[in-house]
Amino acid sequence: MKTSQSLGNMFLVRLFAVALAMPGLAILVSNKAFAADPVTNAMQAAYGPYRAALFKTNQNSQSESQAAIEQARQSWSVVATKFGSAPPAPYDQDKAFAASLAEVSKIYDKAAGEIGKNELSDAHETLEHARDIMAEIRRRNNVIVYSDHMNAYHAQMERVLIDGPKTLAGSNGLLELTAQTGALEFLAARLGGEAPAALREQDEFKTMVAAVQKSVADLKAALFTRDEAKVKDALAKLKVPYSKMFIKFG
């Protein structure tokens, strides 16, 4: 029996596959930092190479995955070397900070070993855990970055997509799924409202966030028709706009 975590990981694999299959879609390798403290800025700068490694391990290219994981390791090494022993505020009171940085490094090392054996699917799954640790570091220290809003939307979208068919089949299924879509609608709005000003000024960002919000609006409209065929069609169209936005701005 698959756990919710394994189902989530399987969904991410499919999500990345859809996104990476899109011609002309570039992966953002470096995140522009919008935080106010040097540690978060450094972690966000290292997040772009991490995402690239995550994507490359899902492309069935060992050589490209090796290059990507090495860049991710080097970027994270800068964070660990500069801040691991004495981080400034707001991380200076976090007793688990150094251990968490080291745990991310271990994950990269393990993934690199799996890539070396051409076990790219295993490496992809291994790398997923690094994102959780990074998010937990920020959570412990009351730091929020735009990636957290992207992750929150993704978690609810995953719930809607994975549980949606089962929900529809149950009693009051349309009503239950409508309630879940309401939460997704709220989080989609936050993708626009919580974006840094520098992002909100970019035409590409505005186009992508509008596409995500439209996909949710379309699902909501389909639910209001009470036509299950239309609902299933709208569900199938949620992934692509989010995938594009996550790769570029996530």
126-176 pLDDT, tens digit per residue, is: 998 998 999 999 999 999 999 999 989 989 998 999 888 888 888 888 999
- Does residue 209 fall inside a structural domain? yes
Residue 186 pLDDT > 90: yes
pLDDT tens-digit map of 11-29: 444 444 444 444 334 444 3
In sign, the C-alpha dihedral spanning 216, 18, 31, 45 is positive
Say if residue 136 is in the same domain as residue 151. Answer: no
Confidence class for position 35, pLDDT limits 50, 70, 90: low
* Mean pLDDT across 51-69: 91
What domain range is 126 assigned to?
31-140
Predicted TM-score (pTM) of this structure: 0.76
- The share of the chain scoring above pLDDT 70, in percent, equals 86
Q: What is the pLDDT of residue 148?
A: 93
Domain boundary among 140, 170, 198: 140
- Does residue 165 fall inside a structural domain? yes
Among residues 20, 41, 45, which one has the least CA distance to residue 30?
A: 45
Which positions ≥6 away from 33 have C-beta within 8 Å?
Answer: 40, 41, 42, 44, 45
Task: For residue 229, count CB atoms less than 10 angstroms from its CB and return exposed for 0-12, middle for 13-18, buried for 19 or more.
Answer: exposed
Say if residue 112 is in the same domain as residue 69. Answer: yes
Which positions ≥6 away from 73 have C-beta within 8 Å?
Answer: 105, 108, 109, 112
Say if residue 124 is in the same domain as residue 150. Answer: no
How many domains, the chain? 2
Domain boundary among 117, 140, 163: 140
Say if residue 88 is in the same domain as residue 116. Answer: yes
Domain boundary among 140, 169, 204: 140
